[in-house]
A and B are shown apart, each in its own frame.
Chain A
Amino acid sequence: MEKISLLILLVLSLIMVAAAVMAVLSKKLPTAILASGIISLFASVVFLILASPDVAMTEAAIGAGLTTFMFFIVLRKIERQNNEK
Chain B
Amino acid sequence: MRNSILLLVVAGFAMFLYTAFSQYQVPEVPNATADYYLTNEPSELGAANVVTAIVVTYRGLDTLGEVTVLFLTATIIGFMLSHSLPANQQVKIPSTSEILVTASRVLIPGSIILGTYVFINGHLTPGGGFQGGAIIGTAMALMLLADPTKQLSKHLMHGVESLSGIFYVLIGLAGLIWAGGFLDTRFLPQGEMGQLLSAGAIPIIYSLIGLKVGAEISNIVSGVHQTEA
Chains A and B are bound partners? yes
| A residues apposed to B, CB below 8 Å | 1, 6, 9, 51, 53-54, 56-58, 61-62, 65-66, 69-70, 72-74, 76-81, 83-84
Q: Does the CB pair A70–B141 fall under 8 Å? A: yes
Q: Does the CB pair B24–A1 fall under 8 Å? A: yes
Q: Does the CB pair B134–A65 fall under 8 Å? A: yes
Chain A hits for B225, CB < 8 A: 73, 77
What's the A-B contact tally at a CB cutoff of 8 Å? 74
Q: Does the CB pair A1–B94 fall under 8 Å? A: no
With A61-B131, A65-B134 as contacts: A72 and B145 at CB distance below 8 Å: yes
Chain A hits for B25, CB < 8 A: 1
Which residues of B, 180-229, contact A by the 8 Å Cβ criterion?
Answer: 217, 221, 224-225, 228-229
Chain A hits for B74, CB < 8 A: none
Closest partner residue, chain B, to A3 (CB atom):
B22
Q: Does the CB pair A66–B21 fall under 8 Å? A: no
Task: Decide if B112 is an interface residue (CB 8 Å cutoff).
Answer: no
Chain A hits for B52, CB < 8 A: 54
Q: How far is the CB of B165 from chain A (nearest CB, A)?
A: 20
Chain B interface mostly helix, strand, loop or mixed? helix
Task: Identify which of B118, B134, B142 contacts A62 (C-beta below 8 A).
Answer: B134
Q: Does the CB pair A58–B94 fall under 8 Å? A: no
Which residues of B, 47-91, contact A by the 8 Å Cβ criterion?
Answer: 49, 51-52, 91
Q: Which of A6, A9, A57, A77 has its CB near the most chain B CB atoms (within 10 A)?
A: A57
Closest partner residue, chain A, to B115 (CB atom):
A61
With A57-B127, A62-B134 as contacts: A69 and B141 at CB distance below 8 Å: yes
Q: How far is the CB of B197 from chain A (nearest CB, A)?
A: 22
Q: Which of A6, A70, A74 has its CB near the most chain B CB atoms (within 10 A)?
A: A70
- Report the Cα distance A70→B220, complex, angstroms: 10
